[in-house]
Amino acid sequence: MKLTTSLAVSALLAASTALAAPHEARQQRRQFGSGFPGDGAAVNGFTSGGRNQGQGQPSFNWGASAPSASASASASSSEQQQQQQQQQQQQPTQTAAPTSYYANPSAAAPTTTASVNHRTSTNTAADYEINENWAGAVLESAPASTATYTYVAATFTLPSVTPTAASSSSDTQAVSFWVGIDGATAGNSIWQTGVDIYVDSNNETSFAAWYEWYPLNSVDVEMDFSIGDVVFASVEATSSTAGTAVIENLTTGKKVTMHATAPSESAKLEGQNAEWIVEDLAVDGDGLTLVGFDDAVFTGCVAKTADGQSYNLDDGAALYAVQDTYSSSVQAVPEIVSSEKLVVSYQ
């Protein structure tokens, strides 16, 4: 039997004692964690931020001497209350997405330098950076300080999934497909939306559409999906502190538009990153194993800047690949097929 609503996903996770901790991490899983969510220990030179921190920003294997890549997600009690109130207020609507862009972020964006050794579409070790949870493509810096990224979109097909034999029978396995602004190399925030696929120990498949403005928790969206459905996803920053996300199931015709605001001044968008990602939802060992999946194909990959220009994968996108924490084997490898087409393959 296939579960098709986000409520079913919540019930599935709540019913499994083994998944109690990963379920917490899933609600805030995509930004500024590193190592193992919840263990608070240093992994690959970085320190994880606690169970509710999640694992979202890619954790690269740069060694213990590398500078910390985990940004502080802590807030005062008043900030936390404000975030909770904003979380409750941010509900999906059926209104059309606005098309305006913010001309200038309120704070100067940091200067970033992208590596030059992973710009081709071939699958060799020199062509991608290894990390623990992101596989896909990232524009790591905006073309100019006055031309920051304000819109990212793509269409992807929900692939068939196959539980991995290495996982214990009690594990729920998962994979996430999303687009986003910031969070890779810039800022204390990320604005993103996508769809998760879960497979439980009974081989039952469920889905969850969601949106998130980190450090707020992700918000599930009521939508039905099936394997093979074609999904359009987009995020837009209407200012550095407000945004609109769209999830549309092109197969069923259902479309939902969501709105959110930055939970604090420190969570403003900088517009320095545009992302198309397949994500391992929890670093191995924390309960949500990366499920095997057929090729994940993103088409129509586009990022737009505040001055109205469009950019694609061939405009210097960096490639990220997911490596298994324990075996050191590469699990998910990206390939740029064309300027607007990205394929992520499970190994």
Catalytic positions, written as ranges: 279
C-alpha dist (Å) from residue 343 to 186, 281, 294, 295, 336 = 24, 19, 10, 6, 6
**Quick one: which of 67, 74, 69, 68 has its CA closest to 53?**
74
The answer to whether the beta carbons of residues 58 and 130 sit under 8 Å apart is no
Distance in angstroms (rounded) separating the CA atoms of residues 24 and 277: 21
234, 153 contact by CB (below 8 A): yes
With CA atoms as reference, report the closest residue to 216 among 93, 95, 90, 107: 90
Cβ burial 70-83 (10 Å sphere, 16+ → b, else e):
bbebebeeebeeeb
* Best CA proximity match to 33, nearest among 41, 210, 276, 83: 41
| Cβ contacts of 228 within 8 Å, gap of 6 or more | 157, 158, 160, 251
What the block records as the tokens of 148 is 């920051």
**Tokens matching residue 157:** 């097909």
Cβ atoms of 192 and 211 closer than 8 Å: yes
- Partner residues linked to 249 by β-bridges: 231, 254
Please check whether residue 169 is in contact with residue 201, taking contact to mean a CB–CB distance below 8 angstroms.
yes
Beta strands 42-43; 46-47: pairing state: antiparallel
Integer Cα distance of 248 and 254 in angstroms:
6
Give 304: exposed, middle or buried? Use CB within 10 Å, 0-12, 13-18, 19+: buried
